[in-house]
Chain A
Amino acid sequence: MSGWFLTLSLVVALAAVHRPFGDHMYRVVVDKRHTMVERGIYRAVGVDPAAEQTWGVYARSVLAFSAVSILFLYLLLRLQDRLWLSLGMDPVKDHVAWNTAVSFVTNTNWQAYAGESTMGHLAQMSGLAVQNFVSAAVGIAVAVALLRGFAARKASTLGNFWVDLTRITLRILLPICVLATLILMISGTVQNLSGGTDVTTLTGATQHLTGGPVASQEAIKELGTNGGGFYNANSAHPFENPSVWTNWLQLFLILLIPFSLPRVFGRMIGQNRQGYAIVAVMAVLAIASIALTVGFETHGAGTVPQAAGAAMEGKEARFGVSGSAVYAAVTTLTSTGAVNSFHDSYTSLGGMMPMIDMMLGEVAPGGTGSGLYGLLVLALITVFVAGLMVGRTPEYLGKKIGAREIKLASLYFLVTPALVLIGTAAAFATGNNATALNTGPHGLSEVLYAFTSAANNNGSAFAGITVSTGWWDTATGLAMLLGRFVPLILVLALAGSLARQQPVPESEGTLPTHQPLFVGMVVGVTVVLVALTFLPALALGPLAEGLS
C-alpha cells in the first residue's frame, strides 16, 4: 500500500466516523443516568456518583487511583511466580517491575523487558491490559474535566472522576475493544491461553512459539494509545499484526479517539466549529509529519537505501517502507509507541521525525485525552500572544487568560522539555549514554529518543540502547511519572480556574479562534516552540548525521 493511499484512506475513514463517535463520547460523559453495572461498581467502591468534585478533589482522586494502580501492578509483577498462569516465569526484577508499573499506569508502555520471556498470562491480562484500559480512561477523563472547565459558568466543580473513569472504560473503550478483538482474531492475530508450542523449523531446529491472549491485548494497546506489545517485537510480530489489513486497522484504532475528542470539545462548549479548528491543527501537523517521514524514508540518503531504492533495513516486508513510515509517524504523533519497524534503522532525518512528533508534546492528535488537553494548552498560549495583538486582555472561548491561567499553561509546556533535556544531559554527564550501541550523532539520537519517549509518555524505543540497567529504569521511570502527572495536575488546576470564570460574550472585538488564520497560528506556535527548545540537541544528533 503506498503511503499516499494509506494516509488518504485513514483520513477518509476518520473524517467519516469522528463526528458520530465524538457525539457518542459526548453523550457518555454528560449522561445523567447510570447503568446497573455502574451503580453496582459505585456501591462496591463506596463512591457517591452524584458528588461533584472540585479540581483539587478530582486531581487527588486521579493521583490516589494511579498510586494504587502502580503499587498493585508492581506487586503483581514481583509475585507472579506464586500466582496462576505464570507459565513458569520468574518474578520480574525490582527495577524493571517499578519501571513497568509506572510505564503502564502512565499510559507510556515503555518496555524495559521482552514480553514473551518475562510476563505470564496473568500479569499480561489482569496487570498490563487492565492498565491499558484505565490509563487511557484517566487521560480522557482529565481532558473532559478541562472541557467542563471551558464550558462552565462560575462553577467550582468539574464532575466526578470515578464516574468518568467507570463510564469511559465501560461505555467507550470496552465495546470497541470487544469488536476490534474479534476482527483481529478473524484477521489472524493470535488469541489463546496456550503456554506455547514447540515447532520444528525447516532447517530442523526447534523453536518455541509463545501464544496467549494477544488479540484482546492488541485492541486496547492501539485504541488506548498505549503501545505496549505482547511480544518484544511489538506490532512487527506476525502474531500481533499479521497483515497489511491489520496494520491499517491498528492505525485506525490508534487515531480514532484522539481525532474524535475535539468533537466532544465542540459539543461541550456548544460551538462545533471550535472543535473543527482543533481537529484542523491536529490534521495539518499529522499530515505534514507523515509526509516528511515517508519522504525521508523513500528518498532517504545513504548508500544502501539509494542502492536498494528505499530504506528497507529494519522494516517488515509485508508493510513495506510506506506502511512502516506511516506507522512510525502515527505511533509517535499519538502517545502510543507501538512499533512495526525498527526506528533505529531509519534514515537520519526519517528517524528524527518520530522524535519531533513526540517533542511537539504529542498533540497531533496525541494520546487519548492527553493530546486534546495538550493542544488546548498550546491554543491558550497562542491566544495569549495573539489576543494581545487585537487589543484586548486575551480570552479563549470567553474565558480570560490572566496571570494564573498563563502560569499554569507555561508550567505545563515547561515540564516535558525540561525532563527530556535534563534526562538526556544527565545520561551523558553520568556516562550512562555508554549503553548506546552506537557512538557519535547516532548514539546521541538513541539517548535523546529514549528520554523524549519516556517524558512524553510515548513508550516507543529508537532501540539500539540497553535501557534495562538500574540507572535507566529509575531515570526513565521518573521521567514517565513526572511527565504524566505534573502536566495532568496543572491541566486540572487550569480547568478549575477556567470553570470559576464567567465567560465574556463574543463580539466583533473577540479574537476569532475558529478561522484558518488561528489554526495556522497554533501550528506555528507549536512548531516554533519545539524547534526553539530542541534544535540545539537535534543539531548534534539526527541533523549532524543527516546533513553530513
Chain B
Amino acid sequence: MTAVLEKTQTRNTTKTIAAVRRDALPDALRKLDPRTQWRNPVMFIVEIGAVFTTVLSIAEPSLFAWLITGWLWLTVLFANLAEAVAEGRGKAQAAALRSAKQDTMARLRDGRVVPAPDLALGDVVVVEAGETVPGDGDVVEGIASVDESAITGESAPVIRESGGDRSAVTGGTRVLSDRIVVRITQRPGESFVDRMIALVEGANRQKTPNEIALNILLAALTIIFLLAVVTLQPLAIFSKAYQAAAPDSAAITAHGVTGIVLVSLLVCLIPTTIGALLSAIGIAGMDRLVQRNVLAMSGRAVEAAGDVSTLLLDKTGTITLGNRQACEFVPLKGVDPQALADAAQLSSLADETPEGRSIVVLATSEYGLREREAGLMTGATWVPFTAQTRMSGVDLPGRSIRKGAAASVITWARQHSAEVDAIVDRISDEGGTPLVVAENDQILGVIHLKDVVKPGMRARFDEMRRMGIRTVMITGDNPRTAAAIAAEAGVDDFLAEATPEDKLALIRKEQQGGRLVAMTGDGTNDAPALAQADVGVAMNTGTSAAKEAGNMVDLDSDPTKLIEIVEIGKQLLITRGALTTFSIANDIAKYFAIIPAMFAGVYPGLDTLNVMRLHSPGSAILSAVVFNAIVIVFLIPLALRGVRYRPSSAAALLRRNLLIYGVGGVVAPFLGIKLLDLFIQLIPGI
C-alpha cells in the first residue's frame, strides 16, 4: 500500500513525533478551559470536583487533601492529553498536506491570471507542462500526464484526459507533459485538499450517532452516581450521630463524609475511563482510515461501515484481475490443434489488448509456435475490433482469419454447427469468454478466455460471511458467465449484465430490507448508486461526480479496500464497547476500596468488605483515585490503536471481548489498587 501520509510522515518522522509530543501537553492544558471541557460531561464533573477539592485543601490543608486534589487534576489532564495526542497525529498530517498546497497562480482561458484561491466555480483554466493544477476540476480539453503524488503518494504519473472517467484533476497536482484545459468544479476554500486538511485535523469534528448515544448513557450513569453520592450525606450524618463514640477520621466527621472523600468516591464511580478516551477513540478511528489512504467525509460513514451487511463489489479489478487470459484452444473435430493455434496467434498479432497478447503467449508457450511480429508480416491487412463487427483479424494473401464473438464470426463464416454451439456453451458455463476463430469459410475452433480470480479472494469472502456480510458481485457479463465466476470466487450473489440503474435498484432493495450497503465506484454513472449506498467509496482516479456522491474517497483507488474499511468501522465500535465495559466493571473493586474506608470507622463490621486488606482509609481512597487516573494513561495506546479485531462471528467476538474487558475489568483494579496501596502506605501520615 502506498500511503501518502505514511510517506510524508516517514519523511518528517522525527519532526512529526516531536511536534505531537511538544504540542500535546499545552493542548491538554488549554482544554481545561471550562468552555471546552463541558463538551465532555463526565470529565467536566471531574473538573468541578477538582476545583471543589482545591478550595477545600486551601481552607483546610493536609497532605491527604492535596494528594487527592493533585490526582483529580491529573485525571482531567490525562483525559485531555488522550484527546490532544489523537488530534496531534491528525495535525501533523494536515501540516504535510498544507505543504503540498502551494500558492499557485491560475491562468484563465481568456488570458487573465488570478491567484488560485480566487477561482470561482465554473472558471476555465489552462495548465501546461510543469505547472500546478490550481483547483479541483474536470479536464474539458486535451490529455496530459499528471503527477498526483502530493495527494496520493504514488509517484508514477497518471493520464488525465477530457471526457470519460479519467477527467478529474485535483488541485495541487502537477502536470508533467502536454497541456490541458480544466473547468473548476470546486468553490473557493472547499477544494479536496482543504477538505482533507479539515478532516484530518478534526477541525469541525461532529459527534457520530453512536458516540452521541454512548455519551447519553455515560451522562445517565454520571447522574445516578452523583445522586448516590449526594444523597449519602444525610445518611452518613445520621449514622455518625448514632455511633457518636466513634472517633472522627479523615473520611467522616460529625458533619458527615468529608468533601474530599465524597468527591473521590464520585470520581471513582462515574465512568471516567471511557469518558476520558471516547473522543480520542473516534479521532483515532478516522485517523486509521487516513493511514490507509482513505478519506471519510464524515464520522457517520465510518460507523456505518461497521454495520454494513451487504457489500457490492465490481467484478473486474476487485474480484478478478483486470483482464481475461486465454487458457485453452479448443479445436473442432478434425481440425489440427496446431492449425487453430496458428490462426489464433496470427489474428491476434496486432491486437494490443491484454486478451490479445495472452492469446499470442499461449500459442507460443503451449503450442511451440515461434513469436511473430505484426510489423514484419508482409501483405497483411489488419482488421481491428469494432463494436459493430465485434471481431478482429487479419487478411493475408489467400487467407482471411477472424476471431471474435461467436455470433459474429459464425455469421461471417456462414457456417453453423452444433459442435461450435456446444463448445461455446461449455466455456460460457465455466465462466469463460469464448472467442470463435475462423479461417476463410471454415470455423477452426474456439479460444477460451478466462477471468482470473485474484488469489485469496475466496478466503476473504468466507471471512465476510462469518462476519455476517453478504457479498454481491456486480458485472456486465451475461448471467451464465457471472454465475460461474461467482461460484469460483465464492461470493454470495451476483448481479449480471448490470446497468447503473440495476445497481441503484439493488441497493434500494437491500436497504428496504433494513440492510446497510457499501459499494465502490469511479464512473459518473456510478454517482447515483454511490450516493444511495450507506457507504460509498469513490476511487480517486474516478470522476469528480463520483467523488462528490460517495462519502469516502480511496486515494489508492483500490476497490478491495472496502473490506478493510468495514473492519476499521467495526474496530472503532468494538473499542468503544470494550472500554465502556472495562470502565463500568472497574467500579466494583473501587467500592470495595472506598466503602469500608469511609464507614468502617463508624461500623467496624464493614471492614469485612475491605477484601484487599488496604492499609488505611486514607491509603485506600488515594489508591483508588490514583488507579482511576493512571488507568487512563495506560489505555491511551489501546484507544489510539483500537482493540484487536479478527473477523469472526458476533458470538465469538462477544465471548472474547467480554472475557478480556469485562472479566479483566473486574479483576484488574483489585490488583492495581492493592499494588498502589503497598506503595502509598509508605507515605508518612497516609
Contact = CB atoms under 8 A, between A and B. Distances in A.
Contact of B645 (A391, A433, A540): A391
Given A385-B580, A428-B235, A509 B216 contact: no
B440 interface: no
B467 A509 contact: yes
Contact of B238 (A411, A433, A524, A528): A433
A52 to B, nearest CB: 23
B18 interface: no
Contacts of A390: 574, 577, 650, 653-654, 657
Contacts of B587: 528, 532
A548 B213 contact: no
Interface string A411-439: 10110011001101110110001000001
A398 B578 CA distance: 22
Contacts of B512: 502
Contact of A444 (B238, B655, B662): B238
B605 A548 contact: yes
Contact of B227 (A418, A508, A512): A418
Nearest to A418: B227
Contact of A504 (B309, B605, B645): B309
Contacts of A403: 209, 212-213, 216
A249 interface: no
Given A389-B661, A517-B658, A532-B225, A505 B231 contact: no
Interface string A526-548: 00100111111101100110111
A429 B580 CA distance: 35
A536 B269 CA distance: 11
A389 B606 contact: no
Contact of B235 (A385, A444, A507, A548): A444
A413 B570 CA distance: 28
Contact of B577 (A385, A418, A531): A385
A392 interface: yes
A383 to B, nearest CB: 11
A441 interface: yes
Interface string B200-231: 00000000011011101101100111011111
Contacts of A418: 223-224, 227
A381 B214 CA distance: 10
A495 B433 CA distance: 55
B668 to A, nearest CB: 16
Contacts of B604: 548
B216 A532 contact: no
Nearest to A543: B606
A491 to B, nearest CB: 16
A428 B234 contact: yes
Contacts of A426: 234
A72 B265 CA distance: 47
Contact of A392 (B223, B235, B570): B570
Interface string B229-244: 1111111111100110
A388 B576 contact: yes
A537 B307 contact: no
A388 B650 contact: no
Contacts of B303: 393
B385 interface: no
A413 to B, nearest CB: 7
B577 A503 contact: no
A505 B654 CA distance: 19
A391 B242 contact: no
Given A410-B217, A533-B228, A517 B651 contact: yes
A401 interface: yes
B578 A505 contact: no
Interface string B640-659: 00000100011101110110
Contacts of A439: 242
A548 B513 CA distance: 61
B599 interface: yes
A546 B570 CA distance: 47
Given A385-B577, A392-B573, A509-B469, A425 B235 contact: yes
B658 A417 contact: no
A413 B220 contact: yes
A171 interface: no
Given A504-B514, A532-B591, A533-B224, A392 B307 contact: yes
B515 interface: yes
A82 interface: no
A548 B223 CA distance: 32
A509 B468 contact: yes
A176 interface: no
Contacts, number: 221
B217 A406 contact: yes
A433 B230 CA distance: 18
Interface residues of B, number: 79
Contact of A402 (B209, B602, B606): B209
A391 B570 contact: yes
Contacts of B217: 381, 384-385, 406, 410
B654 A547 contact: no
Among A387, A389, A414, A543, the one with the most B-chain Cβ atoms within 10 Å of its Cβ is: A389
Contacts of A165: none
Contacts of B235: 424-425, 428, 444, 536-537, 540
B606 A508 contact: no
B521 interface: no
A465 interface: no
B247 to A, nearest CB: 17
Contacts of A540: 232, 235-236, 238-239, 599, 603
A408 to B, nearest CB: 10
A391 B574 contact: yes
Nearest to B237: A428
Given A392-B307, A413-B220, A505 B209 contact: no
Interface in B570-586: 570-571, 573-574, 576-578, 580-581, 584-585
A410 B595 contact: no
Given A391-B645, A502-B512, A548-B604, A386 B309 contact: no
Interface string B363-401: 000000000000000000000000000000000000000
A161 B166 CA distance: 61
A508 B649 contact: yes
A136 interface: no
Interface in A325-384: 381, 384
A76 to B, nearest CB: 36
B309 A547 contact: no
B63 to A, nearest CB: 26
Nearest to A400: B307
A508 B576 contact: no
A398 B651 CA distance: 16
Given A398-B514, A441-B603, A444-B238, A389 B657 contact: yes
Interface string B591-602: 100010001001
A440 interface: yes
A402 B307 CA distance: 13
Contact of B650 (A407, A411, A509, A536): A509
Contacts of A539: 595, 599, 606, 609
Given A403-B216, A418-B227, A387 B577 contact: yes
Contacts of B228: 417, 421, 532-534, 536-537
A505 B515 contact: yes
Interface in B257-276: 265, 269
Contacts of A417: 224, 227-228
Contacts of B238: 428, 433, 444, 540
A515 interface: yes
Given A388-B210, A389-B658, 8 more contacts: A388-B577, A388-B578, A391-B653, A504-B309, A505-B515, A540-B238, A544-B239, A547-B609
Interface of A: 381, 384-394, 398, 401-403, 405-407, 410-411, 413-414, 417-418, 421-422, 424-426, 428-429, 433, 439-441, 444, 502-505, 507-512, 515, 517, 521, 524, 528, 531-537, 539-540, 543-544, 546-548
